[in-house]
Amino acid sequence: MNKSNFIILLSVQVLIIAYFTFQFSMVETFGKKFMIHASTSNYAYINDPYLTDNVYLEMLEISEIPEDKWTLGQDFPSGRQVYVLLIETADGSFQVQDVQKDRIKTSANDEVVVKAIYYYYDEHEKKYYLEYFFSNVDHIEHYGDFKNKNELEITIYS
């Protein structure tokens, strides 16, 4: 291996390490910080010591989408990724403004776009249900001592 190839290979490795090192600080610096209210699920595994540290967060305000906010139609396939436009309310929480299958551009400071998975449509309640990538929290004991149905405030950078 000649000297120039070695320097190029070493430089690429340094750039990759620098990217992973500064990735989180870049998200905190340039990302949009928003807070949502959630509670731990009724389905927490209280009696199983191996599963109690993994919880599913219920965020009903942004997970249950009424028919008037859903523009993708009832035949939209379950399990597909969607983009959700959240808008900040007067009390500082967020609610769903729009759901699209393609990336949505924000037009104001009080708007955030997050990815979700379309889960199903409930004909009885006339609502569409989404699951967010931040709905499942592993090792929640690292964040505090939470009991079933505790109210949580989650801060996310988008």
Tell me the per-residue pLDDT of 86-106, one tens digit each, with 9 for 90 and over. Answer: 888 887 777 888 888 888 887
The answer, yes or no, to whether residue 147 has pLDDT greater than 60, is no
d(Cα 55, Cα 52) in Å, to the nearest integer?
7
Strands of 94-100's sheet in order across = 64-66, 127-132, 111-122, 81-88, 94-100
The confidence score (pLDDT) of residue 53 equals 60
d(Cα 50, Cα 17) in Å, to the nearest integer?
34
Higher local confidence (pLDDT), 62 or 80: 80
Contacts 24+ apart (CB under 8 A), 140-146: 140/40, 140/53, 140/54, 140/55, 141/53, 146/40, 146/55
The confidence score (pLDDT) of residue 107 equals 78
The confidence score (pLDDT) of residue 3 equals 84
Extract the tokens encoding 135: 């709905």
d(Cα 102, Cα 76) in Å, to the nearest integer?
13
Tell me the whole-structure pTM to 2 decimals.
Answer: 0.67
Residue-wise pLDDT tens digits, 110-137: 788 888 888 888 888 888 888 887 766 6
d(Cα 10, Cα 104) in Å, to the nearest integer?
38
Residue-wise pLDDT tens digits, 1-56: 688 888 999 999 999 998 888 877 777 777 666 666 666 554 444 555 555 566 66
Smallest Cα–Cα separation from 51: which of 139, 127, 152? 139
Low-confidence winner among 18-22, 60-64, 72-76, 146-150 (lowest mean pLDDT): 146-150
